[in-house]
Amino acid sequence: MKLKVCGMKYVENIQQVAGLQPDYLGFIFYEKSKRNFEGIIPEFSNSIQKTGVFVNEYIEIVISLVEEYRLDAIQLHGDESVAYIKELNFQLEQSRELKIEENKRIKKKKNQHYISKNKVEIIKVFGIKDEFNFNVLKPYLEVVDYFLFDTKGKERGGNGTKFDWSVLENYPFDKPFFLSGGIGLQDVEQVQKILKSNLPIYALDVNSKFESKPGTKKIEELKNFKKEIFV
């Protein structure tokens, strides 16, 4: 079971959360979000996956930010099509191959391009409320690494409310997914219960329920949550 803390914004708070060793830290690159990230990502453990969250963004901009911030994962929170994701995967691979070739010609290591050890993971988000047609996921199975199920609401994430988790009982695939949507300390018992099911839950994604203000996470509450769930 993995933990993703999303909506990071401020350097000191990022360092504090990184000190808790979550598996993923999410940075939202979406101007309409209260947690839109425009700063500097401080150094932290390489074991933490830096995840960029995008909403219907131009592929060229996604690629540029992946390179600038050395992102390990891309979370697509908009209406991205299968064709969009195929093209994104293609361009990511092209960019990687180009940098490998260029590095061969650059003798000094300090001047070489950064190249991640693994391919950039693709996480596709789908909003759920009281029901969901899982057939819409079929075309995405071959082009994404994970799904993420969030609460369908006015905002593109960070709504602070849970959807009806019983809907997931009808999930028909083996593809692992992130569980998101208003998860907080008060949900420990409910989380423990769903984790005992046979659902392929890969990670829990938390955000607004652990904030003192948008983008600032409460460290002690996160610490307690991790202690309760990730034993």
User: Which of 123, 108, 102 lies closest to 50, judged by CA?
Assistant: 123
Q: What's the gap between Cα 8 and its chain centre?
A: 11
What pLDDT does 136 receive?
A: 97
pLDDT value for 110: 84
Query: What pLDDT was estimated at residue 129?
Result: 85
Report d(CA 221, CA 218) in Å as an integer. Answer: 6
Closest CA to 71 of 61, 80, 83, 81: 61
pLDDT score for 111: 86
Helix (H) or strand (E) holding 203: strand 201-206
Residues 158, 188 contacting (CB under 8 angstroms): no
- Write down the residue that tokens 């950039």 correspond to: 120
Residue 156 confidence (pLDDT):
56
Residue 154: the pLDDT is 62
pLDDT in tens, the chain (231 residues): 999 999 999 999 999 999 999 999 999 999 999 999 999 999 999 999 999 999 999 999 999 999 999 999 999 999 999 999 999 999 999 998 888 888 889 888 888 888 887 899 999 999 998 899 999 999 999 999 999 999 986 665 555 678 999 999 999 999 999 999 999 999 999 999 999 999 999 999 999 999 999 999 999 999 999 999 987
